[in-house]
Structure 1
């Protein structure tokens, strides 16, 4: 990231944190999606997203997940949560049909079109989006306090030259380290206590940590 882009990113993060005190800020969020899921669809989506992330952790990364980093995990889980979860999809993703599965989302055409459509920096739309653009243009700020997070929300960290996303799973947090070795697929989960007391304080999701930008929720969720 160039110095100019780095400064722009930090200005945006600072504004997001400052605006959290204003309840009207969310209504002014430029990244607000024009197409939204209903509350019932949003809950079903969040359940499918967590089920898909859990499958990657339990079974190892699906061969269908090709770009394996923190933002790639989010993109894959979101896109697959918006898919039709029929028997073919379950087989392709290695998810047993006899397990308790979330209800189907039953999306209309405009909602189904959200799949693989990410708003990128500059306003273009495509299949790829970085971690920074994912929260800037495809999510809305929730809070700096993790007590406000819902399952499927994103924790965003700015570590200088790199930005990183984690997925709030409820009792645990899932993420990809961005480093894959022959013996390590890069996937990790930690519980809340582990993360809030992490030795490297840059990764603690605390409101007094300048590297923690806060909790973000996908814009199309109600």
Structure 2
């Protein structure tokens, strides 16, 4: 083989090797490793951004949060995507109030994500495979049930395992609409969530304490281990990397 042809062939193999590493999913959690946050500081910053965006919707919903996405899972999706976007002056202008503006910016990821673009939520099991986006196994919009099952990892059923930016999930099989309901844990015993109804039906974002939830007249909303409707505290896979940080 001529030297030039050999060099070209080696370059091709090298590029294929890099491509293979770029799409690897070593923890087999359904997401390419390149699309997850690595390092304590980056993970902590994402959770803080996510929680701050969600909390800001309680004061005044952002005009960029589309009305058709204003429900309990829509709050999670909106805060997730906004947490990944570059934090420019124009970005901050969408918020009438932002509770934690001093968070360090993310350095290693930005929305749209590499490989996945805007299809950042998984809706099917299994490790990531090339073609998952095209096959609809990763999407840009989904429900609380799919977020729970494919985009998060279970932490436990008591608040001691959770930190600001983690999630709570409930299930009410006989409820109208989606049986799954989600909330964002803000730390210090507080949560923020959307009631799930459309704006026309009076849906709204609420912020309250876990103690208030524990006193809810319907025991199925109590965030306690003995409540079978409370599924527990969860963390986004983007910061969990297949295990508890």
TM-score > 0.5, shorter chain as reference: yes
Verify the 8 A CA contact 1:82 1:115 in the aligned structure 2: no
Verify the 8 A CA contact 1:83 1:115 in the aligned structure 2: no
Change (3 A) 1:181 1:32: closer
Greater shift in the superposed pair: 151-160 or 30-39: 30-39
Partner residue, 1:132: 145
Partner residue, 1:43: 44
User: Where has structure 1 moved over 6 Å in runs of 4 or more?
Assistant: none
| 1:114-193 mapped onto 2 (5 Å cutoff) | 116=118, 117-121=120-124, 124-161=137-174, 162-171=179-188, 172-181=190-199, 184-193=202-211
Structure 2 distance, partners of 1:156, 1:183, is 22
The superposition leaves residues 89-119 of structure 1 with CA deviations (integer Å, 9 ceiling, x where unpaired) of 11234457xx742110112479943674111
Structure 2 distance, partners of 1:127, 1:149, is 26
Structure 2 distance, partners of 1:115, 1:48, is 20
Verify the 8 A CA contact 1:195 1:204 in the aligned structure 2: yes
Change (3 A) 1:109 1:186: closer
1:71 aligns with 2:73: yes
1:203 positional shift: 0.4
Partner residue, 1:104: 105
Question: Root-mean-square deviation (CA), in Å?
Answer: 2.7
Structure 1 distance, partners of 2:206, 2:200, is 16
Matched position secondary structure for 2:187: coil
Partner residue, 1:217: 235
Aligned length: 193
1:120 positional shift: 1.4
Structure 2 distance, partners of 1:221, 1:30, is 14
Structure 2 distance, partners of 1:103, 1:120, is 30
TM-score, normalising length: structure 2: 0.70
Structure 1 distance, partners of 2:140, 2:76, is 12
